[in-house]
């Protein structure tokens, strides 16, 4: 009986060691260039690029033949910078000047916690050099969101109920992400992009009719990023 128990323990230990060898954790930090795209029936207002940052971790779980899955967790800062002159032109208005010039600009600032679920392929080019590519969905939740207009700012997710009846921002985001990476020894250099598929705003018909944008308005996130990291 003792011999059988010892054999089972050795077998379990061997299986755990084999599986552990197929799991490679990694951490990465980098910069983000993001935009927030606003579309409606009569308005197409794309933001200018906003710089942000990201910190991420993932576990590469080997499937064999160079394939792996990489569930992860990412904290990221992103948003958009808007020039509102194009929006004012819709109503036949010119740009503001002087002390009111700040009102020509608006900013959206978000902090997201994101869970990417990627499928990847890694090719060993040499004992110390490798190339990998990943693609998959991501699911994100906005920990905070701020809108800045001129000298004023507001919490996008704590607006008064009277405002929410006409305009409501959503915390949840989801989309597709893809990246490629080169690793040298344990160092990882990655570039990638995230394409948001979720509409992050709800415009009620009353406000939509007033602004001429309609209740079918959409607000979506897009970003590109570059990062450096370490694979354990």
**Full set of structural domains in the chain with CATH:** 1-231 (2.40.160.20)
Asked whether residue 226 carries a pLDDT value surpassing 60, the answer given is: yes
Q: Which run of H or of E encompasses 4?
A: helix 2-21
Q: What is the Cα gyration radius of the chain?
A: 23
Asked whether residue 208 carries a pLDDT value surpassing 60, the answer given is: no
What pLDDT is stored for residue 206 in this prediction? 44
What pLDDT is stored for residue 103 in this prediction? 61
Of 210, 60, 39, the closest CA to residue 120 belongs to 60
Average pLDDT rounded to a whole number, residues 56-64: 96
Q: What is the pLDDT of residues 84-105, one digit of tens each?
A: 665 555 445 556 565 555 666 7
Asked whether residue 62 carries a pLDDT value surpassing 60, the answer given is: yes
Q: Model confidence at 51, in pLDDT bands (50, 70, 90)?
A: very high
- Cβ contact 225:31 at 8 Å: yes
Q: Model confidence at 224, in pLDDT bands (50, 70, 90)?
A: very high
Distance CA 185, CA 152 (A): 49
Q: What is the pLDDT of residues 4-20, one digit of tens each?
A: 444 544 444 443 444 55
Asked whether residue 63 carries a pLDDT value surpassing 80, the answer given is: yes
- Cβ contact 196:216 at 8 Å: no
Average pLDDT rounded to a whole number, residues 130-137: 98
**Over the chain, what is the mean pLDDT?**
82
Q: Which residue has the higher pLDDT, 178 or 161?
A: 178
CA distances from 60 to 5, 69, 100, 141 (A): 32, 6, 52, 23
Of 31, 33, 83, the closest CA to residue 221 belongs to 33
Average pLDDT rounded to a whole number, residues 178-193: 97
Structure-token pair, residue 37: 């795209």
Distance CA 43, CA 56 (A): 35
């Amino acid at each position: 009986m003792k011999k059988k128990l010892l054999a089972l323990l050795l077998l379990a230990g061997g299986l755990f060691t084999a599986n552990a060898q197929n799991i490679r954790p990694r951490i990465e930090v980098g910069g983000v260039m993001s935009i927030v795209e606003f579309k409606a029936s009569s308005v197409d207002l794309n933001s200018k690029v906003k710089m942000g940052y990201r910190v991420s971790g993932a576990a590469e779980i080997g499937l064999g033949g160079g394939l792996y899955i990489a569930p992860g967790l990412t904290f990221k800062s992103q948003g958009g910078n808007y020039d509102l002159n194009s929006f004012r032109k819709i109503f036949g208005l010119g740009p503001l000047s002087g002390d009111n010039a700040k009102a020509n600009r608006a900013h959206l600032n978000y902090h997201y916690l994101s869970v990417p679920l990627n499928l990847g392929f890694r090719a060993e080019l040499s004992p110390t050099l490798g190339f990998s590519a990943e693609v998959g969905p991501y699911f994100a939740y906005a920990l905070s969101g701020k809108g800045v207009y001129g000298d004023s700012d507001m919490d996008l997710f704590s607006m008064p109920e009277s405002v929410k009846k006409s305009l409501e921002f959503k915390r949840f985001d989801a989309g597709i992400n893809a990246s490629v990476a080169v690793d040298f020894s344990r160092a990882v250099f990655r570039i990638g992009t995230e394409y948001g598929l979720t509409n992050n705003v709800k415009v009620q018909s009353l406000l939509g009719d007033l602004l001429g944008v309609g209740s079918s308005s959409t607000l979506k996130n897009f970003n590109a990023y570059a990062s450096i990291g370490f694979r354990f």
